[in-house]
Structure 1
Amino acid sequence: MTYTRKLTPLALIASSALILSACAGDEGGTEGGSEEGFEYGTSQEELNSVLADLEPLEITYQAGAQSQNSISAANDLAFKEYVEERSNGQISVDIVWGQAIAGYPELDDALVDGRVDIAYAVPIYKPNEYPTFDAIGAATSGLPNSPVVGEMVGDAAVIELASSSDELRAEYEAQGVTPLIPMISTGTYLSVCAEPGTAPEDWTGRTVRVGNSAHEQQARSLGGTPTSMAYTEVFEALQRGTVDCTLAQFRPSEEAGLLEVAPYVAYTSEENSLPGRAAGAVLAGAKYQQLPLAYQQIIYDANEVRFVTNNEVAATSNAAGVEQLKGAGGEIGPLDDNADQILGETNEELQAGVEESGHVPSGIADRVAASGERWSEVAEELGYTEAGGFEDLDEWYEPDDYDFAPMAERVFEEVLLEHRPE
């Protein structure tokens, strides 16, 4: 079964619900603003009456996409559309593209000092400030890694794992920011290389660009030499042969054109999938924490729309990536069995290290597996299927065949709703 109905922001709004008056809740206070909020699902007409006495305002939103023409810009444009429509035009969203105000390492400071109000962030780049984020990310091996349904299930699982972590929320609080979505899956990690060959002997001596500590260990286990560099430098490094491979996702790889110079891509088995797919988050700064409760709730409720667009972007980017690498004369297929087994053994070492670190409660590996299984069952229950794999994704994937709204509703109601401001 597939879906054809596409989600629009106001499609999430139920016909009626009770208006409520409440105190500051889990995701931020309302100092200086109205305490009157509304229940999730309140009709637009009822909501408008709550908003009537509130002053219009503008928020600065720093997007994750490099420009409005990027595939991933759908996330940012949908956020703007939802917030502006749901607020009856009283909140205007100024989107800043390409990390123009603050790069990812400086973003927390920009959120705290008010240069940015809401932003897509990459906490995985700051393991010292966010050791729990890094630990959860390192433990996320073994989640489904198929190109459409697997991406969706993985996204649901990492949101659930992060949302239930008091330790991670404490780390965000220590930095002075509010997590709207504490962790987002940015896609399955793959090996992306300039030359073919995925057996251990092919990896020996290769220089491999890595983006996190888990991948550094993975690259070494395969016989490669890991190196860290800014993602904006990877295209030129691959083109010049400074690096031979990168462990990356289709979404940024396709957008940066990496697959034109490194068109040999391999994916792991599901049980040995690479960790670290949870790299991003949506964070709010000081201004959000001072907004009237109803405005906070509108911004928070946009998380449901983001789940939809994030998975539309993931599937579309995967298909575009396959098309790009084929256009460059490359190929995609499974990783060599021996190399896959090596990664599986390294995953076990990583999960044991996470347990020993003390940044997450014991049993993280079991919780990751349980979450992946639970959301796989929900996906099956809702009728999501795939007509092929990565190799022919560009041939069988049709965006109109998938509506991620039913899954988004389940994730919001069963995971995110608990942390809605109230």
Structure 2
Amino acid sequence: MKTTKRTNRALTAVLAAGASIGLLAGCAGGVGASGGGQSGGTGFEYGASQEEVDAALAELEPVTLTYQPGASSQNSETAANGLAFQKYIEERSGGKIKLENAWGQSIAPYTELDDALTDGRVDIAYYAAIYFPDEFPTVDAYSKLTHYSTAAPLTGEAISAAMMSELGWNSEEHMQSIEEKGLVPLSPLMSSGDYWTACSEPGSAPEDWQGRQMRIAGTAHTAFAEALEASPVSMEYGETFEALQRGTVDCTFVQPQVAGSTGLLEVAPYVSHFADKRMTGSATAMHVAGPAIKELPLAYQQIIFDAEVDHWHGMVVNTMDAGRQAVSDAKGAGGEFVEMDPETEQIIAETQEKLVDDLIAEGRLPEDIREQMEASAEKWTGIVEELGYTDAGELDQLDEWYEKGSVDFRPLAERVFSESAAGHRPS
């Protein structure tokens, strides 16, 4: 049987960062057609030899899946996760599973991604669920819990990413919110890095924020802007460069992956960040597939699921590589990368804890959530240290001591998989 794939699809590059997975592609939008309706079949154990995997795939027909990474192109600073995911799948399957990449959200923007995943235009995708707090209330709630770990530029990102992944996998409510939409979670909760503020003019003291137009990405940022007497303006990251360039907004809350992949700091080079803590809001996205993935042979489903180890590694690489570029961009534009004014940091920190209090009072988070997050931070800090990850400098010198793509986060990703995701593996 021949492989079935979509044709004549225009790929329109747009400014984007992050990754997204599209639905399983096939004739008339069905995976069954592209794979011969071979659901079920023989699987293999996680970590099986390549010979065992080849044996499980021996009688299976090839399939081609449409994958929508969120990066603008394969050359983007945030393409590492999508490329690592694709490479693992195609190599592990001996070429029997092909991913047809649609970069830059060229098939479906986030506002249409639900429909694209369920109707078969996309098979697997990175989904910035933080933009839809009413549809994904758990993402909105959990995004307000990302400040309970260190702000260290490398180890802090690794610890926080592990904490939020574990939280997502272990939350029955969160998993149900994804599955109720007909989607299949591959990584149910992901971090794109700590938040900073980036402005077109210098100054981070409380009086500097008064009257500024602040681009926000999530509901936590609305509260921050209002506490600083700034005006929150909601927009997706793809619109932010032009808004800053034209002066429609003065500042933006921004993560490394967006800052380093979109050139934002060329027009907003005055960056401020917390001194010793993290700014909350970084759990913004998930990696999901459409329901048709369940029509694939079991061995194919397992390969796709197992590829999340490499995808998770790539997400942290994205954060580090883009962060390095962001620091370089700010310096190159004559700006600065500095610690936030202590009084401003205190205002935001107090607002973060009030948000947690409100979520507990509303019954959206358990009363002991702080203790849970602190215990999680302690656990993953120990694992990160055990695996030998270290920081060789400060954030404002990231372009000097961190080399692009130089750190392998797969050992940590393996621990995340075994500690939280393994029980969800298709079987």
User: TM-score scaled by structure 1?
Assistant: 0.90
How far has the Cα of 1:375 moved from its partner?
0.9
CA–CA separation in structure 2 for the residues paired with 1:373 and 1:62: 35
After superposition, give the CA deviation of every residue in 1:258-298 in whole Å (9 maximum; x if it has no partner): 10110011111344x22110111100102212111111110
How far has the Cα of 1:356 moved from its partner?
2.5
Describe how 1:37-186 pairs up with structure 2 within 5 A: 37-186=43-192
1:139 touches 1:350 (CA, 8 Å); kept in 2?
A: no
After superposition, give the CA deviation of every residue in 1:141-194 in whole Å (9 maximum; x if it has no partner): 233222211111111111011111000111111111011000111111001111
The amino acid across from 1:98 in the alignment is G
Question: Does residue 253 of structure 2 align to residue 247 of structure 1?
Answer: yes
The amino acid across from 1:330 in the alignment is G
Question: Does residue 294 of structure 2 align to residue 289 of structure 1?
Answer: yes
Q: 2:217 aligns with which of 189, 211, 218?
A: 211
The amino acid across from 2:409 in the alignment is F
CA–CA separation in structure 2 for the residues paired with 1:356 and 1:130: 19
How far has the Cα of 1:237 moved from its partner?
1.5
How far has the Cα of 1:400 moved from its partner?
6.2
Name the counterpart of 2:236. 230
After superposition, give the CA deviation of every residue in 1:54-98 in whole Å (9 maximum; x if it has no partner): 111111111111111111112111111110111111111101111
Question: Does residue 318 of structure 2 align to residue 303 of structure 1?
Answer: no
The amino acid across from 1:373 in the alignment is E
Question: Does residue 373 of structure 2 align to residue 368 of structure 1?
Answer: yes
Q: 1:275 aligns with which of 259, 273, 280?
A: 280
CA–CA separation in structure 2 for the residues paired with 1:387 and 1:289: 44
Q: Which has the higher contact order (CA 8 A, sep 6+)?
A: 1
2:324 touches 2:404 (CA, 8 Å); kept in 1?
A: no
1:204 touches 1:223 (CA, 8 Å); kept in 2?
A: yes
CA–CA separation in structure 1 for the residues paired with 2:385 and 2:114: 38
The amino acid across from 1:195 in the alignment is E
Question: Does residue 221 of structure 2 align to residue 189 of structure 1?
Answer: no
1:268 touches 1:334 (CA, 8 Å); kept in 2?
A: yes
1:132 touches 1:360 (CA, 8 Å); kept in 2?
A: no
Name the counterpart of 2:17. none
Q: 1:351 aligns with which of 356, 363, 388?
A: 356
1:64 touches 1:120 (CA, 8 Å); kept in 2?
A: yes
2:141 touches 2:359 (CA, 8 Å); kept in 1?
A: yes
CA–CA separation in structure 1 for the residues paired with 2:403 and 2:142: 32
The amino acid across from 2:321 in the alignment is T
Question: Does residue 404 of structure 2 align to residue 407 of structure 1?
Answer: no
* Other structure's SS at 2:389 match: coil
| Alignment root-mean-square deviation, CA | 1.5
CA–CA separation in structure 2 for the residues paired with 1:191 and 1:197: 11
2:192 touches 2:256 (CA, 8 Å); kept in 1?
A: no
Name the counterpart of 1:24. none
CA–CA separation in structure 1 for the residues paired with 2:311 and 2:89: 11
Name the counterpart of 2:28. none
The amino acid across from 1:170 in the alignment is Q
The amino acid across from 1:140 in the alignment is T
The amino acid across from 1:34 in the alignment is G
1:263 touches 1:330 (CA, 8 Å); kept in 2?
A: yes
Name the counterpart of 2:30. none
* Other structure's SS at 2:104 match: coil
CA–CA separation in structure 1 for the residues paired with 2:237 and 2:61: 41
* Other structure's SS at 1:147 match: coil
CA–CA separation in structure 1 for the residues paired with 2:164 and 2:184: 18
The amino acid across from 2:109 in the alignment is G
Name the counterpart of 1:198. 204
After superposition, give the CA deviation of every residue in 1:294-340 in whole Å (9 maximum; x if it has no partner): 11110000111012111112111111110011000011111111111
CA–CA separation in structure 2 for the residues paired with 1:421 and 1:283: 14
Q: Quote the sequence identity (%).
A: 48
CA–CA separation in structure 2 for the residues paired with 1:264 and 1:50: 54
CA–CA separation in structure 2 for the residues paired with 1:363 and 1:325: 40
For structure 1, list consecutive stretches of 5 or more residues without a partner in the other structure: 1-30
CA–CA separation in structure 2 for the residues paired with 1:178 and 1:107: 13
How far has the Cα of 1:108 moved from its partner?
1.1
1:142 touches 1:274 (CA, 8 Å); kept in 2?
A: no
CA–CA separation in structure 2 for the residues paired with 1:255 and 1:294: 35
CA–CA separation in structure 2 for the residues paired with 1:244 and 1:120: 29
CA–CA separation in structure 1 for the residues paired with 2:407 and 2:83: 19
For structure 2, list consecutive stretches of 5 or more residues without a partner in the other structure: 1-36
Q: 2:391 aligns with which of 378, 386, 410?
A: 386
CA–CA separation in structure 2 for the residues paired with 1:238 and 1:336: 22
